[in-house]
Chains A and B, each alone.
Chain A
Amino acid sequence: MSTLVFLEHHGDELLKGSLGVVTKAATVAGGDIAGVVLGSDVRALAEGAGNFGAAKVYVADDPQLEAPLSQPRVDVLAQLIGDQGIDTVLFANSVLAADVAAGLAARLDAGLNWDLVDLTQENGKLVGKRPALQDSVYVDVGWTSEPRLALFRSGSFDPSETGGSAQIEDVEVVLEEFSTAARMVDQAHEESEGPSIEDAPVIVAGGRGLGGPENFTLVEQLAKALGGAVGATRAVVDAGWYPYATQVGQTGKTVSPKLYIACGISGAIQHKVGMQSSGVIVAINKDANAPIFEFADLGVVGDVHEVVPRLTELVKQRKGG
């Protein structure tokens, strides 16, 4: 097996998700793991991957790869995979990685399995584990040709240090015209404003079910009564109801408070990956079929506008407030 891991970075750090995939790959495929870093001024970064099990790291270092856009990366990877005879390419899911992986699948007519939470070798065959239909069924999936492409669900593997070092190899950057047509006008920077929710022992989170930004006072009051912080879904953050700093999920924060109360949240996979390791999960949703009930410890089918204020009152009474 010749395995390549897409190493994503932000600023001058390789992302933990990518390094977790390197660690996983090393246990599944043995020693022959390569990584690839694409960006501008990224050579120093690449060396860091050796410490997590990559024997070799390919580096595509070019100002045209500065912005985290997918299409130029597809060009470089397609070339590299062909030249090196790579048969397996692994990605930790992200907004960028998903688009790179899918673009590559089309370019190479290669199979892509997404949302995998595990990868094993069975009788010489690579098998991915994919939760489907709101995680109600776990499907074993595979590939019928090479290269095989796999996207892993956020947070599936933790990186572990091996103390190894990687051999660095430069790769050529030749880009298609259409791949450079999209242009980054303003790149996201680390959000410094807003409250930090990562260390809160209790999070009361609100979603679109609250009905409007003004109703966030309901979750704020409950959070205050419980001594916790307020979280939000992407739907309400994108809509401008609540600040990005409070967003929980794949493109927001990953949290694991003792108690997570989800109010008017459907429980999409991308939200779930950010809060599933919470100690106790309580969900209030008026749709009895909402996916959040599949992983809540206590589910209440009800209206947040009625249940939440009443609960706040009861908590206050109990605390003698």
Chain B
Amino acid sequence: MKIAVCVKQIPEGSSRIDPESKRLDRSGEGALNPFDANAVEEALRLRDAAGESEVVLVSMGPARAQDALRKALAMGADSAVLVSDEAAAGADLVATSYALSKALEREGADLILFGQQAGDSDGAVLWAAVADRLRLPVVSQAAGVTHENGKVTVKRQTEFGYDVIEAPLPAVVAVSDAINEPRYPSLKGIMGAKSKPQATVSLGDLGVEPERAGEQGSRTEVYALGDPPARGESKKIEDDGSAAQVILDFLAEKRLV
């Protein structure tokens, strides 16, 4: 079985939007989107349970995103493909899903996994757009995935409790951050990652037309940045052993105890 995992590099720590370009500032350090570590972990488990299987990472982002891919390779993924192109900058859901689906088409994976959300954009939507472009079944919010006889069975939480959904492969599945505990890369994994295949492809390589890429291929725009509504007084303290007393005093002052 071939499993593709879509992963993203996001800015490390707290991020900012550049007031000039109105895009997320990606100039600082980058990290593997933490929610995608769950997708990688799930792929590794499914791979190892199925035997004779491989896990390929698929990502779109700046060239430096290879660093984030290396971390997922160190966890145990087998190879990585990064779609990287100046013309891809500023892509929204429409443009990103198009480019990624073109990259995924080339991989011909049996199962395509996504993380729960990109920690920078909090969309939690990309999988459904990619699945539609690939004309594959999709199941999201997976809190459990099993694979048997050419199909996946997914347990997912909705607003009403838990559904169980089945889909034939090839299929797209987005996993929740509670599905597993991602492993830490071992030293051996980290060393080994350096020699694993990490390809970079351009939009041209994938046959993505320039007018369907990046800002040009996007259908949404940002007009202005503003401050959040003012909030009431708030207080933040560091526990030095007295925090419980501070909380109690605060509750007493508010007449809550």
Contact = CB atoms under 8 A, between A and B. Distances in A.
A234 B178 contact: yes
A183 B129 CA distance: 19
A203 to B, nearest CB: 12
A250 B141 CA distance: 13
B222 interface: yes
A254 B80 CA distance: 41
B179 interface: yes
A181 interface: yes
22 contacts: A68-B158, A98-B124, A102-B123, A106-B128, A107-B132, A109-B94, A138-B225, A142-B223, A182-B171, A189-B161, A238-B143, A251-B141, A282-B251, A284-B243, A284-B247, A288-B238, A297-B232, A301-B237, A302-B238, A303-B239, A307-B243, A307-B247
A142 B94 contact: no
Interface string A213-240: 0000000000000100000001111110
Nearest to A115: B122
Central interface residue in B22, B94, B226, B231, by most chain A CB within 10 Å:
B94
A293 B237 CA distance: 10
Closest 4 CB pairs of A and B: A302-B239, A111-B219, A238-B178, A188-B161
Contacts of B129: 102-103, 105-106
Given A144-B221, A238-B178, 5 more contacts: A95-B159, A106-B129, A179-B137, A237-B157, A289-B14
Contacts of A311: 244, 247-248
Q: Is the interface of A mostly helix, strand, loop or mixed?
A: mixed
Q: Is the interface of B mostly helix, strand, loop or mixed?
A: mixed
Contact of B244 (A179, A296, A314): A314
A234 B153 CA distance: 20
A111 B239 contact: no
A310 B226 CA distance: 41
Contacts of B157: 95, 188, 234, 237-238, 244, 251
B227 to A, nearest CB: 7
B39 interface: no
B22 to A, nearest CB: 8
A236 B164 CA distance: 19
A127 interface: yes
Given A141-B221, A234-B178, A318 B165 contact: no
Interface stretch (A24-32, A51-59, A69-77): A69-77
A185 to B, nearest CB: 4
Interface string A283-317: 01000110001011111111100110011011100
A101 interface: yes
Interface string A29-52: 000000000000000000000000
B222 A140 contact: yes
B187 interface: no
Interface residues of B, number: 85
A145 B160 contact: no
> What bracket does the count of chain A residues touching chain B fall in?
35 or more
B2 to A, nearest CB: 19
B75 interface: no
A222 to B, nearest CB: 10
B85 interface: no
A298 B250 contact: yes
Contacts of B143: 238
Interface in A70-106: 70-71, 74, 94-96, 98-106
B125 interface: yes
A137 B225 contact: yes
A3 interface: no
Interface string B124-136: 1111111111011
A176 interface: yes
A144 B228 CA distance: 25
A95 B141 contact: yes
Contacts of B176: 234, 238
A132 B179 CA distance: 26
Contacts of B204: none
Contact of B164 (A98, A99, A185): A185
A94 B156 CA distance: 13
